[in-house]
Structure 1
Amino acid sequence: MKLALFDEHRLGVVIDDRIVDVTTAVTSHENDAETAGWWRGLCRDWAALAPRIADAAKSRDSLPLDGVTLQAPVLNPSKVIAAASNYRAHVDEMHQVQERTLGTVHPWMMEFDVFLKAPSSITGPSGPIVLPPAVLADGHEIHHESELVVIIGRGGKDIPVDEALERVFGYSVGLDITVRSPADRSRRKSYDTFSPIGPWIRVADEEFDPGALDILLTVDGAVRQQVNTADLLMSVPEIVSYASRIMTLNPGDVIFTGAPPGVGPIEAGETLVTTISGIGTMETMVR
């Protein structure tokens, strides 16, 4: 099942090129993106709510997708976690990127780890990504990083690897927009609009394998990034387990799983199109 948030944070089930409004199937729904308790409850209690939402999707009229405004398919997570240095080819290319943009290579940044991005950096598939004028004035490059995004369901602390996928609510397409500068990693990635997510969530089930997904990013039609998640150094279950040993994962939390090789600068006026097989395509403008 594919779940989207649209218009004024309505909940919809996406079926082909149409969407069914199932908002009233979530009895605790309220249109308050800042508290978003109903959304986190949906992530936590999905197993119990799924039959009701599935029934609503079958019994109600649908709307054309191009007739609604898709929002980011997550609401005010308690945290946005991101994995660093999680594709070998990306680690290799970062030596040249850091030499060019920083004048030196930081070896510690070449090791896998997780860091935090500000939840306020999240934006939806309709974008745009806004390049901060002060950053541009300082001459720093701003890069795209297309990534598989994990949305936590029940969450927990010290989650074993073999139980990690049971704690996942679903998956989405994401961009981890990044300033290449000497500043702290979290700061460089936390500007408003620097975490586009969309166009919807593919709810986790036994048929969906997050370790066998094709990721493709084009910029104005030119291929920039192309990889399969089989190449992740730390798999999705390992990332979830590792992060949970550092911090408690709460329902609705977001995890970016790492940048593939092919990162590069973006400029105002460009169009980024990111596709992940089995999930969907997100088109985002830059200004």
Structure 2
Amino acid sequence: MKLALFDDARLGANRLGVLVEDGVVDVTASLPWPHDPDPLTAGWWRRLCRDFADVREELARAADKGPALDPADVRLRAPVLNPSKIVACASNYADHVAEMHGVQERTLGKVEHWMMNFDVFLKAPSSISGPQDDIVLPDAVVNAGQEIHHESELVIVIGTGGRDIPEADALAHVLGYTIGLDITVRSAADRSRRKSYDTFSPLGPCVVTADEVGDPSDLRIRLTVNGEERQHVHTATLITKVPAIVAYASSMMTLLPGDVIFTGAPPGVGPIERGDRLDTHITRIGAMRLNVR
């Protein structure tokens, strides 16, 4: 199932939809609990992540009945609401680790070797934007001449959550997957700071449930900038695979329903500038087109 959040002039904000072949079906009324459109208090979304198995059949019936809304008449939002945290993986593709030596030599004047090892860090949830929002480059960063890079990634959305989740059980705690861009300032600042500007975590176009995605190690990620291919990688080459990522992150922090985990930047990262058009695609999940301003 492809779960989407959308705004509609007639129906309201942050509606729950299911993407179908000819549009999006509003299934909000099929939820067995109240729908709160305010993203800051929208506990209904986190409850959906936690209890999706209980409502899946009813949502599927509603999606089958339709009618489908024309995509031109709705605005897709980021397919998550106010997660307690964004967890992001660093140095999770060997070829990206290799390319970062040159990137750091150019942008920092040296290589920070400790940054070449796999680990996780946090991004601000306020950096999340949607598939129809622009990426906004901060004036101060641009004026300082610092590079701002794209990183197109597979993103995990947590379902039931938990602490100290065994790797063997980890996939049972995943609601589904979406596409994310981890927009990054290349500077000496802390990772969390330079990756947490507003609009620096675009997500979309939907969350595809784990059963429909299948093996998360069998997906292809591709990103182009102004039509030129920059990133093209298979998730089989992740150093730390999705089950191990979930287990590792949960060994340090309780993962809550609706939390978001970026799985790591593939090789091919590079600078973006105002006026650029980014197209990113992951097999069995979908595609996003984002403009930079």
Instruction: State whether TM-score is above 0.5.
Output: yes
In structure 2, give the amino acid aligned to 1:153. G
In structure 2, give the amino acid aligned to 1:12. G
Corresponding residue for 1:9? 14
In structure 2, give the amino acid aligned to 1:227. V
2:114 corresponds to 1:111: no
Higher mean displacement: 59-68 or 151-160: 59-68
Corresponding residue for 1:58? 64
- Shift of residue 227 of structure 1? 0.1
Distance in 1, matches of 2:240 and 2:71, equals 35
Distance in 2, matches of 1:16 and 1:87, equals 33
Corresponding residue for 2:292? 286
| Cα pair distance change 1:139/1:175, threshold 3 Å | same
Corresponding residue for 1:134? 140
Q: Deviations over 1:174-209 (max 9, x none)?
A: 000000000011000000000000001101117611
Corresponding residue for 1:19? 24
Distance in 2, matches of 1:131 and 1:65, equals 27
Corresponding residue for 1:70? 76
* Normalised TM-score (structure 1): 0.99
In structure 1, give the amino acid aligned to 2:223. L
Structure 2: runs of 5+ lacking an equivalent: 8-12
In structure 1, give the amino acid aligned to 2:5. L
| SS of alignment partner, residue 77 of structure 2 | coil
Q: RMSD value over aligned CA atoms?
A: 0.9
Distance in 2, matches of 1:38 and 1:185, equals 31
| Cα pair distance change 1:123/1:88, threshold 3 Å | same
- Shift of residue 62 of structure 1? 1.0
Corresponding residue for 2:171? 165
Distance in 1, matches of 2:264 and 2:21, equals 28
| SS of alignment partner, residue 135 of structure 2 | coil
Distance in 1, matches of 2:106 and 2:174, equals 38
Distance in 2, matches of 1:89 and 1:28, equals 47
Distance in 1, matches of 2:116 and 2:20, equals 41
Q: Deviations over 1:130-171 (max 9, x none)?
A: 000001111110000000000000010000011000000010
2:210 corresponds to 1:204: yes
Tell me how many residue pairs correspond in the alignment: 287
In structure 2, give the amino acid aligned to 1:5. L
Corresponding residue for 1:147? 153
In structure 1, give the amino acid aligned to 2:28. T
* Normalised TM-score (structure 2): 0.97
- Shift of residue 111 of structure 1? 0.2
In structure 2, give the amino acid aligned to 1:11. L
Distance in 1, matches of 2:267 and 2:19, equals 31
1:44 to 50, 63, 74: 50
2:193 corresponds to 1:187: yes
- Shift of residue 82 of structure 1? 0.2
Structure 1: runs of 5+ lacking an equivalent: none
Distance in 1, matches of 2:109 and 2:22, equals 48
Distance in 2, matches of 1:23 and 1:258, equals 32
Q: Which runs of 4+ in 1 moved over 2 A?
A: none
| SS of alignment partner, residue 262 of structure 1 | coil
Distance in 2, matches of 1:242 and 1:158, equals 8
Distance in 2, matches of 1:154 and 1:88, equals 31
2:39 to 33, 42, 47: 33
